[in-house]
Amino acid sequence: TDGGRNLSLDSILMGLPMSDPTAWATAMNNLGMAPMGMTGQPLLPDFDPALGMMTGIPPINPMMPGLGIVPPPIPPDMPAVKEIIHCKSCTLFPPNPHLPPPATRERPPGCKTVFVGGLPENGTEQIIMEVFEQCGEVIAIRKSKKNFCHIRFAEEFMVDKALYLSGYRIRLGSSTDKKDTGRLHVDFAQARDDLYEWECKQRMLAREERHRRRLAEERFRPPSPPPVVHYSDHECSVVAEKLKDDTKFSEAIQTLLTWIERGEVNRRTANNFYSMIQSANSHIRRLINEKAAHEKEMEEAKEKFKLALSGILVQFEQIVAVYHSASKQKAWDHFTKAQRKNISVWCKQAEEIRNIHNDELMGIRREEEMEMSDEEIEDPSEMKETEESALVSQVEALKEENDSLRWQLDAYRNEVELLKQEQGKASRDEDTTKEQQMKLLQQALQGMQKHLLKVQEEYKKREAELEKVREDKLKIETLLENLKEQVCAMQGVAACRGTGLVFPAGFCLVTMTFVVFLSPGIISTFLHVHPFGASIEYICSYLQRLDSKICTAEVEVLMTRLQNTFRQELSGVGASLEKRWKFCGFDGLKMT
């Protein structure tokens, strides 16, 4: 948006006075262009483009579309040369080229309006139109009394051409009066109309983009399924026949599902729908048989693959045996060095390929063993019972594997010692092969040692798990014994001496002690204070202040058991009949 640097030379030419065709033709000739007028007619018919300063460039028409809309940027190191612009009523003088370019505000979106300040006091709209119509079509001019105005152009690129005039000194005619001169300041202006048109344009572009996306989505969208026919007896018979055909089953089952979801099932059509559902159920057996056939084919293919792979491995073993036999001293001495090198390379390659195929076969066997073990998994309850025995068996298996690995390790050590003894007797050619064998055996020995250490660590882990299971078992047994003792103690306390009371399971021991041992004394004291007796509710209300968990029925049962201490009497007549309890523990003493 820097008007002084971002405007092209074409914009300079657009500002030249059209009343002077000679100056226009000279400027076009310097650029190597065919001199053309504003309307496109040639000014010099006999112009030769080869005579211009820029040779080799074909004639360029400045009125070509796009030439003035997006002007080519001027390099920052090339200063823009501004010239004097002559108009009918005024003259524009360029600013000092050594001064910095005039400052501008941030360009608003869709800006088509510019602010022009520094106008002469005697300037009119006709003069402003004469100066700025060279930049493009002017739609409106809003002039103020304070020597500034707003100009709205038809297109956005015209604003850039108008900014080029910022900094020019304007003089009306040949007058030197202060009111007839001024320094133009052109800047971006923010207008509602510009913003509204820009938003409308953005919305239009967004609609077009959505339309293009919708067309693309519709192009890649799968076609909609065909409509399902309505239910009728004829269509029902057709669907029933399709359900029996494997090739048309999917279409028929979709139709049946749609009919059921539509609510076509009623008393009249229930039998037809039941027969179609029965046909769908019979298709399950066909699917199961088809799956079994495919599984059988897969198993046969696996067996064939295993047999073929086994045969290939056997042949590899035979080839490797041939290489090893050829590497022995009896035959090895008769080969040349090149032949020996080729045989050793071939032997290595064959061993690598054999090991790869052997690992593949072992992987297939492991997968089969894992599948067999998955099929033999027992129920969780049975697994809990057999967990300890499984751990014991695993520990024993690890012990056996540990012993076998130790024996193999001893065998490898003996082999290494024998190889070391034979190493001093062998020749130089044999030394290389023996060293390779030694390295291989050492690598194998290291691998066996690592494997042995892993097995020992796993053995220790299994033993720790076994000890943990045994400790858990002992803890559970002790907990069971403690629970049994607590239950027996609760039942023994519940059977109190002389009361005959049996309290329910889970009854609080504190409450039971209070009812059995403390309640008789408290009740006796309470009734001794009340010589005329008290009702059972009154007694229980008093006891509940001491213990809120006391039940009225339990207290009444206790007082009924103790007949020598408490006695129940009836008082009142008819509806006012009332049961009262009295203390009779001292009645026998009074009689004596």
Q: What local confidence, expressed as pLDDT, does residue 132 receive?
A: 92
Q: What local confidence, expressed as pLDDT, does residue 321 receive?
A: 87
Average of per-residue pLDDT across 87-112: 88
Structure tokens at 228: 């399902």
CA-closest candidate to residue 114, choices 82, 85, 139? 139
Q: What local confidence, expressed as pLDDT, does residue 16 receive?
A: 40
Q: Taken in order 288, 290, 291, 296, is the CA torsion positive or negative?
A: positive
Q: Are 3 and 159 in contact (CB under 8 A)?
A: no
Express as a percent the part of the chain with pLDDT over 70.
Answer: 75
Amino acid at 353: I
Average of per-residue pLDDT across 216-233: 84
Q: What local confidence, expressed as pLDDT, does residue 47 receive?
A: 47
Express as a percent the part of the chain with pLDDT over 90.
Answer: 13
Q: What local confidence, expressed as pLDDT, does residue 497 receive?
A: 40
Q: Are 236 and 269 in contact (CB under 8 A)?
A: yes
Strand partners, 582: 567
Average of per-residue pLDDT across 380-395: 62
Structure tokens at 391: 């751990």
pLDDT-derived band of residue 212, with 50, 70 and 90 as boundaries?
Answer: very high
Average of per-residue pLDDT across 200-221: 92
Q: Where are the alpha helices (DSSP H) in 183-269?
A: 192-220, 233-243, 249-262
Average of per-residue pLDDT across 139-146: 90
Strand arrangement, sheet containing 148-153: 138-143, 148-153, 113-117, 185-188
Phi and psi at residue 427, in whole multiples of 5°?
-80, 180
pLDDT, greater one: 138 or 19: 138
Average of per-residue pLDDT across 485-495: 57
Q: Which of 14-23, 30-39, 344-353 has the lowest mean pLDDT?
A: 14-23
pLDDT of 523 > 80? The answer is yes
Q: From its phi and psi, is residue 167 left (phi > 0), alpha (psi between -120 and 50) or beta?
A: left
Q: What local confidence, expressed as pLDDT, does residue 151 receive?
A: 94
Q: What local confidence, expressed as pLDDT, does residue 14 receive?
A: 42
